[in-house]
Structure 1
Amino acid sequence: MTQQHHLRGVILASIACILWGISGVAASTLFISNPHLSAMWLTQVRMLSAGVILIIAGQLTGKHPLAIWKHKRSAWQVVSYGLLGLIPVQLCYFEAVRVGNAPIATIIQFLGPFIITFYFLFFKHVIPKRIEVIGMVMAFIGTLLIVTHGHLNSLAVSPAILFWGGLSAIGVATNTLIPRSILPKYGALAVTGWGLLVAGLFLMVLQPMWRVHLTLNAFQLLLLVVIVLLGTVAPFLMFAHSLSYILPTTASLLDAFEPLAATVFSVLFLNVQLTSFDFVGGLMIILAVMALSLNMHKMLILFHRRRTDS
């Protein structure tokens, strides 16, 4: 693979992560401009629209997305992926943005890889390496700085954003682990498209979106299009395509652009006030996750080998 191809992959993955960060800022703007809009309604629109688009894209590119439903095991996995992976990583994230702000919500969600580490430790008995232990300590200190601003007897952020942000971080872990065995066979377009559609339909059963009476102006409709197309469909396609040119470990390191983009655009366009504790804590978490990502790919390969041997 040439250096030009590697650079192309890095650019694609970087832009994808920046767009994901911008989608959080767009959602925050939407919640501020329309207080009647709920995270549930926005998540349903995002999931159903993006799911249909990705499935159609899979069909047009010859990926045969319907094949995933021909086998009971793969069908159950895609349903589990939608309900246990995509719902927490999207609905809970939007709830965290709604009750707080995009930078803090994105940084808390960014702790997801550490939940994967704990999963391997407690359930697969994979001992974390020294760099991973250092990363976990850094992430803990960084989170403590954001949550307390240096005052251990009080919280600087609301318990609600910690609750929803924590659930979204768990969603990052389940979103990574659940579909791994079916992604190589059916492709990312089909798996993610059906996962989004299943999750969106399930949320529709819980709270039908047509019962919510909302009036959106032109600016709010534009934000909605940004969230669905520029914040979901486009970055997913770009990130998936980038893996043709770069390793997953390289791509995961570039995930750091997501919280950075959410922070920069929130400060510039939403006048979000962040303290030095937020910046230092966020930087510690980002560096910790980048250190963890260097070993995450090896950990997943080891997990795959153990499953194959068993």
Structure 2
Amino acid sequence: MTRQHHLKGVLLASTACILWGISGVAASTLFKLNSQVTALWLTQVRMIIAGLGLLILGQASGVKPFKIWRNRRDSIQLISYGLLGLVPVQLCYFEAVKFGNAPIATIIQFLGPFIISIYFFLFKHVTPRRSEAIGMLMAFIGTLLIVTHGHLNSLAISPVVLFWGELSAIGVATNTLIPRSILTKYGAMTVTGWGLLVAGLCLNVFTPLWQVHVSLDWPTISLLLVIIILGTVFPFLMFANSLSYILPTTASLLDAFEPLAATVFSIAFLHVQLTGFDLFGGILIILAVMALSLNVRKMMGVLHRRTDS
């Protein structure tokens, strides 16, 4: 692997994460600009269109996306991935953005790797290392600073934001754990494309997409295109392609660009006011997750070996 290839992989993964961060800022702008847009409606539109787009691209590139439905067990796992992985990681995130703001929602969602670490400890009996324990403590302190601003007897953010943010963090964990075996078997484009489409269609059980009236003026359409194309399809393809040039551990560390991008663009364009507690707490969480990400990959390897044995 040449230095040029490594640099290409880093740039692809970094840009993908920045685009994900921008997607959160675009969603926050859309919620403020058009009161008819709900988190559920936005998630449905994003999932269905992006899912179809990925499947069409997959079919055009010879991936054969329909192959996964021939295996009953893999089909059930795919549906579980869509409903238990992608729905919380996207719907709950947008709810947190709507009731709060993109930086706080993204930082709380960034706690997902710690949910994975807790899962391994409780169900796979993988004891956290000292570095992981220190990282968890840092993340806890960072979250506490954001939530209380140093006043332990009161909350500085809405409990609703905290509720949806924590659910989205759990979604990050399920989004990582559930599709592991089918990803290696069918590829990321097929699994993510079907997962998005299935999840988006199933969300119509709550409120059918066609029964919601949203005025589609040009600003709304423009922001939707940013969220769907620049914030979903492009970054997915870029991040998946980056893994051809860099290790997954390196790519996972670059995830830190997502909350950083959400924070920078929210301050620059939406004039979101963040306190010193928010910034310091966010930095602690990002540093802690970057440290933990290396060990999470190792734990995934341990689980994979135990599953194969």
Shorter-chain TM-score range: over 0.9
Whichever residue aligns with residue 306 of structure 1, its letter is: R
Which residue number corresponds to residue 117 of structure 1? 117
Q: In the aligned structure 2, how far is the partner of 1:129 from the partner of 1:161?
A: 31
Residue 250 (structure 1) aligns with:
250
**How far apart, CA to CA, are the structure 2 residues paired with 1:3 and 1:298?**
25
How far the C-alpha of 1:216 sits from its partner, in A, is 2.3
Q: Which residue of 2 aligns with 1:219?
A: 219
Q: Is 1:130 the equivalent of 2:130?
A: yes
Which residue does the alignment assign to 1:56?
Answer: 56
Q: Which amino acid aligns with 1:197?
A: L
Letter aligned with residue 144 of structure 2:
L
Contact 2:36 2:215 in 1 (8 A): no
Encode CA deviations 1:107-140: one digit per residue, 9 max, x unaligned: 0000000000000000000011111111000000
Once the two structures are TM-superposed, the CA of residue 46 in structure 1 deviates from its matched residue by 0.1
Q: Distance in 2 between matches of 1:114 and 1:67?
A: 34
Give me the whole-angstrom Cα distance separating, in 2, the residues matched to 1:186 and 1:9: 22
Secondary structure in structure 1 of the residue aligned to 2:204: helix
Residue 83 (structure 1) shift? 0.2
Amino acid corresponding to residue 295 of structure 1 in structure 2: N
1:88 matched to which residue of 2? 88
Shift of 1:96: 0.3
Q: How does 1:178-193 map to 2 (within 5 A)?
A: 178-193=178-193
Aligned to 2:291: 291
Aligned: 1:196 with 2:191: no
Which residue does the alignment assign to 2:27?
27
Contact 2:36 2:213 in 1 (8 A): no
- Unpaired segments ≥5 residues, structure 2: none
The CA deviation string for residues 139-197 of structure 1, in whole angstroms up to 9 with x for no partner, is 00000000000000000000000000000000000000000011011000000000000
Distance 2:244 2:129 in 1: 28
- Tell me the CA shift for residue 233 of structure 1: 0.2
Contact 2:143 2:281 in 1 (8 A): yes
TM-score (norm 2): 0.99
Q: Secondary structure of 2:181's match?
A: coil
Structure 1 residues 56-76: Cα deviation after superposition (integer angstroms, max 9, x where no partner): 111111111000000011100
1:305 corresponds to 2:305: yes
Q: For the residues of structure 2 that align with 1:267 and 1:281, how far apart are their CA atoms?
A: 16
1:296, CA displacement in angstroms?
Answer: 1.3
- Provide the identity percentage: 72
Equivalent position SS for 1:182: helix
Shift of 1:206: 2.0
- Opposite residue 212 of structure 1, the aligned amino acid is V
What is the CA–CA distance in structure 2 between the aligned matches of 1:132 and 1:63, rounded to whole Å? 38
Give the stretch that moved more between structures: 147-156 or 54-63: 54-63
Q: Which amino acid counterpart does residue 13 of structure 2 have in structure 1?
A: A
1:104 maps to 2:104: yes
Can you list the C-alpha shifts for 1:250-288, whole angstroms capped at 9, x where unaligned?
000000000000000000000100000000000000000
Deviation at residue 205 of structure 1 after TM alignment: 2.3
> RMSD across aligned C-alpha pairs, in angstroms?
0.5
Match of 2:46 in 1: 46
Match of 1:262 in 2: 262
What is the distance in 1 between the residues matched to 2:222 and 2:167? Answer: 28
Query: In the TM superposition, what is the alpha-carbon distance from 1:204 to its structure 2 partner?
Result: 1.3
- TM-score norm. by structure 1 comes to 0.99
Q: How many residues align?
A: 309
Deviates more, 1:211-220 or 1:137-146: 211-220
- Residues 279-304 of structure 1: per-residue CA shift (max 9 Å, x gap): 00000000000000111111101100
Q: Which residue of 1 aligns with 2:74?
A: 74
Distance 1:214 1:223 in 2: 13
AA aligned opposite 1:304: H
